Amino acid sequence: MAGFALLALLAVAVIGFLNSDAMSVDVVTVNGVERDRAEQVYRATQVEAGQPLIDVDGDEVASRVEQLPWVRAAAVARSWNGTVVIDVESRQTLFALAGTVEGEYVGVDSDGVQIERLGSDQVADSVVRTQASSGADTAGSVIAPVLHGVTVDIQPGQSAPPAAALAINFLLSAPEDVRQMVGSMEAVDGELSLRLKSGSVAKLGDSRQLGAKYQSLETVLAQVDLACLAAVDVSVPSAPSVTRSCQTGDEVGQDG
């Protein structure tokens, strides 16, 4: 009986220690984001200084942080020195969609998730993005290419329309030399068209056989007079066709 009594006393002592001020949260540290977003993360954790460390459930805290629309993933670690550390991986804007209200845009990431509202100064008709290197998180510094032809009811955290997949597949797979030729993108009826910086249009069609389409596009552009090229259709990469704005000599796959 004495042994059981001793164990019971030890258990009470341990529980008391774990719930004492000596084992409470002193500091919450957020890594991977800038100050304004770190404050959003801290509020989302619902962890308060002074609460017992034993009450901090890392999985629950991470889940709450991941409810923020711009957070891809979060990991939480507790230290018995009173520190709770949250490591955050942010979603990165890949392109933008116009909202239903003129002048409003939303950034979309490679998962097709609406991240956050963007101002008109944060979008551009160019697939060559610029991004300031200001640390691990670059919120507000991205100049995102706009996918025309699609508008969305802006709801950060929600999925973008299915047509967004056309832009995602292109932006993630296109070789740099192809990207450098493109000014803007447009999705119409499930097919992607690219407005080239030369002024002509490249019709890619759907997201199948993209590698072959890029190769076909480069081959055609290398052999035609760009000054007279109105459009090139590589939706069937083995049989590209061109539409000209003026008469030239023989051209590969020309429509006449």
Instruction: Give the mean model confidence (pLDDT) for residues 115-126.
Output: 90
Q: What sign for the dihedral angle of Cα 139, 142, 147, 150?
A: positive
Structure tokens at 182: 């493109």
The per-residue pLDDT for 49 is: 86
Mean pLDDT of all residues belonging to the chain = 84
Runs of H (alpha helix) within the chain:
2-18, 35-45, 58-65, 164-173, 176-181, 210-223
The per-residue pLDDT for 256 is: 42
Instruction: Give the mean model confidence (pLDDT) for residues 152-176.
Output: 95
Whether 11 has a pLDDT exceeding 70, the answer reads no
Whether 236 has a pLDDT exceeding 80, the answer reads yes
Q: Are 23 and 80 in contact (CB under 8 A)?
A: yes
What is the fold of 2-90? Ubiquitin-like (UB roll) (3.10.20)
- The Cα–Cα gap between 7 and 126 comes to 70
The per-residue pLDDT for 214 is: 96
Question: Poorest-confidence range of 1-10, 44-53, 120-129?
Answer: 1-10
Instruction: Give the mean model confidence (pLDDT) for residues 157-185.
Output: 94
Where are the CATH 3.10.20.310 domain residues in the chain?
2-90
